[in-house]
Structure formats: structure tokens, C-alpha cells
Amino acid sequence: MIQLLSQLHVSNLLYFRHQPDNDAIVERVRRTRRREMAGKFMSFLFFRLPLVDPNRWLDSILPFIRFITGGWMAIVWLVVVALGCATAFENASALVDKGQGLLSLGNLPWLYICLAVMKLLHELGHAFVTKRYGGEVRTLGLMFLLFTPLPYVDATASWAFRNSWHRVYVGAAGMLVEFFLAAVGALVWAATGPGLVNSIAFNVMVIGSVSSLIFNGNPLLRFDAYYMLSDAVEIPNLYQKGQKQWLYFGDKYLLGTEGVESPAQDEREWWWLTSYGLLSFVYLIIVTVGITLFLLDQWFAIGVVALAITLATKLAMPAWKLFGHLTGPKVARTRRRALGAALGILAVVVVVVGWVPLPYSIQAQGILQSAEAAVVYAPTDGALLRAVARNGQHVRAGDVVAQLRNPDLEQDLEVSRQALREADALLRVALVKAPSQLQSLQEQRVAMLRRIAELQAQRDQLLVRSPRDGEWVAPSLHENEGNWLQRGQPLGETVQRRGFRFVAVVPQEQANELFARPPGRRASS
């Protein structure tokens, strides 16, 4: 009851018979607005822009929503997704080859269009299920994630659903939509040839499967899977409570503060908060550092701002709060221990950062050359019938890596065989009627046999074989299937995975850092 009254008081929803404290209410509103503005400033890489209220439109199509989110759709979803998964597994090698051009400049516009459309359908999935169970959806807008505009809807009305599995269904609806679209994309991609439709289907398949699992399907990020987990285990605000759990550990066992209590209500919740709080914190640090380094590499000015905000929110603000806590009344009886523990932690951080040697590296794009590599050339003229070995496949000496076809060679071989049969017939006649011609006819026959042997040797060369054991490297050979290849044209390389040499061009300042080190401290890949 006290907690409820406190929340009503903070929201200015309490009515008093006596004269209210207007100054306190005004000051509380100002503090709330300042916190909101500070939150928006700190999250400038991820902010939302509300646009329209879709609730009336959703009410108008409520029969359709109940129809498409009903039990029959689960059967359709399972059948389509099963077919899509089977198709993807059957064409796994082709998917890997196709994925190499996913981030090409020509595909990036289509990739973003597919992403935006699928995210709109993803958000509508949340809105449909929320509306199915009686919730209201009052906001449809754009969220800017790393300055990339994507649609979003406000489905927070689902938090009031008494049935936890209804809330889980709302959280899963977006991913279910994307998995369904990914399966449809896989089926369309497998059934179409190269072209725009095939590329769009491939983009839909990748976005709906890989990206959905990495982001929305990761419970350590506060997206769909996080809310699903929170609803399933029936622990609201799981992330915040996990952080408070570890603050409780530090407050009690490091600083020795008396009277602190764990936010966990029972042993089950204790284990959930402890494990989730640790995993989510570590993952958050990894993601934050990764995004900051990416921004510093791509857009330096924005990266500097992101780095400053990261240091302020993850280092300066916690340090200030810790200082206020150490000088506050809660640690009055154990202040000496608390200060000692804080100084000890600070000393460990200073030693690790200042004296412990850490690895240093320079990044550069270049070419990895193998000291033991054999280039395979086309041994004869012919059309590439089939690339037998896949790029990256391990082959042995003598294994067929490609198959050529030469119709002219087959025709020459057949003509030479006919000439040999004719020479054999003339020899039989000469034995009886013209013995004087036997020697010349025998010489012609030997020449025909020699010609046939040469042509057969050339035909055997149409099966191109690896000259040695190693990894077959031919990333673009399959693109030449059906094309005519000249004798001596390189097809690929058989590379041994040892004795590599990295060749790259680095800026002058990095070259000075690289070659100014003592020879014993230079590192290679």
C-alpha cells in the first residue's frame, strides 16, 4: 500500500483534503523533466519520434486481427517455417556463396528497404496481438538506431495483461512474423533465378532469420526476448533488479553496509537476478565498447561524442554516486571499511591500467599469401561445365576441382578414329592386292594412333585436378560456369594452411609505430 501511494504521489495523482504542497509538486515535475531530457541526451544514438495514433484503425480491423492471430495461423506458420528451413538446409552451400555479396553497394539500398518493411510488419505483429487481448496501441512512430530510421509501436499496454503467456505472445509476435517472412523468402529464393526478385527474397530471408535471432532473440538485450523472459519467469524489471542485486552484493560484502536487503524475494528469484545481472552487464559492456569503436572508425566526430557519453554514464556518474554513498549516512558505522574497499578497488584498476602490459595491435586491410600455394591453370581450351570443388574445401592431390567440355575436341577424336578404321581396312586390302603399299599404310596407321593418343590425353585434361593437398581457393570460379576458358587461364589455387605472409599498405604514422619497435617485440598474424 505504501508503494502504491508513493507511485501515485510521484505521478501527481493523489487528492488531499488539506492544502497541497505546491512547491514540492512543481519541483518534482521539474526534476522529472530534467531526468527525461538527460535520458534523451544520453541516448542520442537511440531515440524515438512518435508519429500517429493507430488505435482507431486497429479497432476497425479487429475481426481480421483475431483471424490472423488465431490458432489456425499456428498450423500455417509451422508448415511454412518447416518448408523454409528444409529449403535453406538443402541449399546451404549456395546460401554461403550468395551471402558474400550481401553488403555490396548495389544491394545495400534493397537491404535497407527490406529491413524497414519487415520491421514495420514486425511492429504490427506486436500491435495485433496486443489488440487481440484488449490492449490499446496509441503510438506508431520512428526510432533512430545509430541514425537509421526504423518503425516502432508502443505496445506497453500488454504489461497490464493478467495472463503472463498473453504477454509472452505479444513479445514473440514480432519474431514470429519475421521467421514466417524469412521462410517465405527462402522458398521464393530457391524457386527463382538470378534477378531482383531473387535478391529481395534472399535479403528477406537473412533479415528475418539471422538478424532477428541476434537482436530480438537475445534476452541479454532489452528487446523482444528480454520481455518474453521477464514475463515467463514473472519477474518484472528483470534488468534493473539484476543490477540492484549486484549493487547489493558490493554494498554488503565489499563496503560492509549494514541493513541492506537483496531485491530478490525468494531463492528462485535470487538465482535469476544474480545470473542475469552478471551476464547482462558483461554483454552490455561488450556491445557498448564495440559500437563506440565502430563509430570512432567510421565517423570520428560522432564516435568521440559517443565515447564521452559512455565515459560519463558508465564511469563518471557511477563514481559520483559511489562518492555520495561513501560520504552518506548509510555507511556511517562502517565508513573506514567502505573507504578502504573503494581505495583498494581503485588501486587495482590503476595498477591494471597503468602497469600491466596489454597487447597492442594495428589493423590494416591486406592480402594473406601462402608460401606453399600452387596455381591451377586451365590445361586446355574448353567451356567450364562444373566447378566440382567448393571454395574453401580441402582437396587431395589428384582430386577433380573443375570439369571442362570441348565439343571440337570430341569431334576431332571421332574423326581420327574413323581415319584409323579406314587405315585398317586399306591394310587388309593391301595384304592381298598391293603389298608394295603396306609400309606407307602402316606409317599412316601409326600416325593415326599417335594422334588419337594426343587427343585422348587432351580429353583427360578436361577433368582439372589439384596438383597437391591443401585448401581449394577459387571464390569466383562458379560464376564462370558455361563460359569458354582459354588454355593457361588461372582457375584457382591449392593453398597449404601454413607459412602465411600478410601483405598490406599502412599509413605512415602506423608504419612508424610498427617498425620502431624492437625486432623481438614485433608481432605477426
Pair (263, 283) in one structural domain: yes
- Give me the mean pLDDT over the 43-57 stretch: 78
Pair (32, 67) in one structural domain: no
Q: Is residue 413 assigned to a domain?
A: yes
pLDDT value, residue 38: 62
Cell digits for 471?
Answer: 585448401
pLDDT above 80: residue 147: no
Q: Is residue 402 assigned to a domain?
A: no
Angstrom distances, CA of residue 307 to CA of 72, 97, 283, 312, 318: 50, 37, 17, 8, 16
User: With the C-alpha atoms ordered 225, 226, 230, 233, is the resulting torsion angle positive or negative?
Assistant: positive
pLDDT value, residue 19: 63
Pair (124, 256) in one structural domain: no
Pair (381, 444) in one structural domain: no
pLDDT above 80: residue 82: yes
Q: Is residue 438 assigned to a domain?
A: yes
Pair (129, 70) in one structural domain: yes
pLDDT above 90: residue 149: no
- Look up the domain containing 247 and give its range: 240-353
pLDDT value, residue 60: 92
* Angle at alpha carbon of residue 38, lines to 35 and 44, rounded to 5°: 140
pLDDT value, residue 37: 66
pLDDT above 60: residue 523: no
pLDDT value, residue 355: 79
First to last CA, the chain: 63
Summarised one tens digit per residue, pLDDT across range 483-522 is 888 888 888 888 877 777 778 887 777 777 777 655 444 4
Pair (267, 223) in one structural domain: no
pLDDT value, residue 182: 92
Q: Out of 199, 217, 234, pick the residue that ends a domain.
A: 234
Weakest mean pLDDT among 3-12, 180-189, 270-279: 3-12
Pair (83, 133) in one structural domain: yes
Q: What are phi and psi of 128, to 5 degrees?
A: -60, -45
pTM given for the model? 0.57
pLDDT above 70: residue 259: yes
Q: Hey, is 456 helix, strand or coil?
A: helix
Residue 45, by phi and psi: left (phi above 0), alpha (psi -120 to 50) or beta? alpha
The rounded percent of the chain whose pLDDT value lies above 90 is 8
The answer to whether residues 477 and 402 touch, using CB atoms and an 8 Å cutoff, is yes
- Give me the mean pLDDT over the 254-262 stretch: 78
Confidence grade of residue 103 (pLDDT, cut at 50, 70, 90)? low
Confidence grade of residue 187 (pLDDT, cut at 50, 70, 90)? very high
The answer to whether residues 264 and 273 touch, using CB atoms and an 8 Å cutoff, is yes
pLDDT value, residue 130: 92
Pair (195, 291) in one structural domain: no
Cell digits for 74?
Answer: 499456428
Q: What are phi and psi of 441, to 5 degrees?
A: -65, -35
Pair (433, 518) in one structural domain: no
Taking the C-alpha atoms of residue 321 and residue 324, their distance in angstroms, rounded to an integer, is: 5
pLDDT above 50: residue 525: no
Pair (273, 174) in one structural domain: no
Taking the C-alpha atoms of residue 229 and residue 219, their distance in angstroms, rounded to an integer, is: 7
Cell digits for 17?
Answer: 483534503
Summarised one tens digit per residue, pLDDT across range 418-461 is 888 888 888 787 777 777 777 777 888 888 888 888 888 888 88
- Give me the mean pLDDT over the 210-238 stretch: 82
Q: Hey, is 192 helix, strand or coil?
A: coil
- Give me the mean pLDDT over the 50-77 stretch: 89
Taking the C-alpha atoms of residue 384 and residue 405, their distance in angstroms, rounded to an integer, is: 6
pLDDT value, residue 524: 45
CATH code for the domain of 506: 2.40.50.100
Question: Which residues, in sequence order, are CB contacts of 122 under 8 Å at separation 6+?
Answer: 174, 175, 177, 178, 216
**Within 13 Å of residue 298, how many CA atoms lie on the same side as its CB?**
8
Please state the domain count of the chain. Answer: 5
Q: Is residue 358 assigned to a domain?
A: no
Q: Is residue 9 assigned to a domain?
A: yes
Pair (122, 216) in one structural domain: yes
Summarised one tens digit per residue, pLDDT across range 326-350 is 777 777 777 788 788 888 888 888 8
Q: What are phi and psi of 463, to 5 degrees?
A: -95, 100
Summarised one tens digit per residue, pLDDT across range 349-382 is 888 877 777 666 777 788 777 767 788 888 888 8
Q: Out of 234, 250, 268, pick the residue that ends a domain.
A: 234
Q: Identify which of 9-23, 174-188, 230-244 has the greatest average pLDDT.
A: 174-188
Where is pLDDT greater, at 43 or 254? 254
Cα R_g (the chain), whole angstroms: 36
Angstrom distances, CA of residue 465 to CA of 377, 395, 443, 468, 478: 10, 10, 35, 9, 16
The answer to whether residues 500 and 370 touch, using CB atoms and an 8 Å cutoff, is yes
Q: Is residue 375 assigned to a domain?
A: yes
Pair (392, 299) in one structural domain: no
The answer to whether residues 390 and 402 touch, using CB atoms and an 8 Å cutoff, is no
Q: Hey, is 109 helix, strand or coil?
A: helix
Q: 173 burial class (0-12, 13-18, 19+ CB within 10 angstroms)?
A: buried
Q: Is residue 401 assigned to a domain?
A: no
For the chain, give percent helix, strand, coil, nearest 5. 60, 10, 25
Report the chain's mean pLDDT, rounded to a whole number.
81
Where is pLDDT greater, at 268 or 193? 268
Taking the C-alpha atoms of residue 412 and residue 435, their distance in angstroms, rounded to an integer, is: 30
Q: Out of 234, 256, 285, pick the residue that ends a domain.
A: 234
- Give me the mean pLDDT over the 142-162 stretch: 80
Q: 125 burial class (0-12, 13-18, 19+ CB within 10 angstroms)?
A: buried
Q: Is residue 273 assigned to a domain?
A: yes
pLDDT value, residue 51: 87
Instruction: Look at residues 399, 406, 395, 380 and name the one whose alpha carbon lies nearest to residue 461.
Output: 380
Taking the C-alpha atoms of residue 158 and residue 139, their distance in angstroms, rounded to an integer, is: 14
Query: What DSSP string describes 386-428?
Result: E--SPTT-EE-TT-EEEEEE-HHHHHHHHHHHHHHHHHHHHHH
pLDDT value, residue 41: 56
